[in-house]
Structure 1
């Protein structure tokens, strides 16, 4: 699969927000309640632009990936696939790409979090050998320790 990661440009905030909202609305709404203004501000102030990448397949936007470097790990904030690209192994391919990136950068692990209520995401990450390292009422933190 020919996956390209293209940095999201700052003038692409509205398409970025649309994808993020579609991807996490259900979970945020069920746990905290969704507030458009709050979520817009959060994306603009708590994330850096260079963390965001469009996932492209054959020149078409297939989703969004947001990750950053944290000490000796890479942390994945979002992996959101467009509905037409789900259940085809693309998520697994993207996570393998992140694993290769982490290994190339001599990172020790990849970390991420998901909502307790997002059983589909939890199952997906556990199928890729992610281990639960912490959990609370709302979130599960996972890590995959690399053996590069």
Structure 2
């Protein structure tokens, strides 16, 4: 099963699909990354612009990005690492004006169903200081599998 094949919500409103190479704009992706995560990265590790750009480009490969569409409008993206033993959700970012509308919750349900059907678990981590994300994942019913000094880690098992 190809995890990154397009997925459309039951009501045909939200679609997850690959970003065409011609439309992949790493500067715009990094900008949303910074806008969304700087407030958590900075107090945890400090924010060094050059280091963060280099880390972003090295850690989040073009092939891992999937756009989140509402209708035909791209409103965010996810980065999925499709590994042999698991699928790791590295990023789920929405444009600020689309946050709080239930889009992230629906995206997570779509991803959890697709990954579960592959027979592998879905894993993800979030900053310990990102209480909004922690509440979001708790509302989704996710259980914490581990914590360290900076991160909370989740594992959603495949349903067989």
Task: Please point out which of 73, 77, 95 is paired with 1:60.
Answer: 73
3-state SS, counterpart of residue 25 of structure 2: helix
Q: Pick the structure with more strand per residue.
A: 1
Q: Deviations over 1:69-116 (max 9, x none)?
A: 233321111111112211111111101111122123222x21100111
Q: How many residues align?
A: 147
Q: Which runs of no fewer than 5 residues in structure 1 stay unpaired?
A: none
Q: Structure 1 segments of 4 or more deviating over 6 A?
A: none
Q: In the alignment, what sits opposite 1:113?
A: 125
Q: Deviations over 1:24-71 (max 9, x none)?
A: 110001111111111111122223211111211121121111111233
Is it true that 1:135 corresponds to 2:147 in the alignment? yes
TM-score if structure 1 supplies the norm length?
0.90
Matches within 5 A, 1:1-148: 1=11, 2-8=13-19, 9=21, 11-107=24-120, 109-148=121-160
User: CA separation in 2, counterparts of 1:106 and 1:90?
Assistant: 25
User: CA separation in 2, counterparts of 1:129 and 1:69?
Assistant: 23
Q: Which runs of no fewer than 5 residues in structure 2 stay unpaired?
A: 1-10
**How large is the RMSD of aligned CA atoms in angstroms?**
1.6
